[in-house]
Amino acid sequence: MTGDVPGLAAFYEEVLGFEHVPAPTYSGFQVAWLRLSGSPDVALHIIERDPAVAAAAAAPGAAQRGATPAQLPRRHHLAFSAQL
């Protein structure tokens, strides 16, 4: 998650060779879906960070609170796929 979806997407495109693919439009936040050029199996979803969560994370004592993913307003996900 990031506060700068276009900037982070540009980094992955320019430095690591990812390319944009069609992504759904969400109300209230930006996303960018990318895939590694020449590899349809390697994808990356960049999601705009929720400002409310970012502010809470910066508040005093945030490190001790340790919010779980289920407690965050936007879903975090990490996915891996392997073929043998």
Domain of residue 10, CATH code = 3.30.720
Categorize the per-residue pLDDT at 58 as very low, low, confident or very high, splitting at 50, 70 and 90.
Answer: very low
Is residue 27 a part of any domain in this protein? yes
Q: How far apart are CA 34 and CA 49, in angstroms?
A: 17
DSSP per-residue codes, 53-84: HHHHHHSTTHHHH---GGGSSS----------
pLDDT digits (tens, 9 = 90+) for 13-23: 999 899 999 98
Q: What's the domain range around 30?
A: 5-71
Is residue 79 a part of any domain in this protein? no
What's the domain count of the chain?
1
Note whether 47 and 29 are within 8 A (CB): yes
In the chain, % of residues over pLDDT 90: 24
Residue 51 pLDDT exceeds 50:
yes
Residue 46 confidence (pLDDT): 86
- In sequence order, the β-bridge partners of residue 82 are none
Is residue 61 a part of any domain in this protein? yes
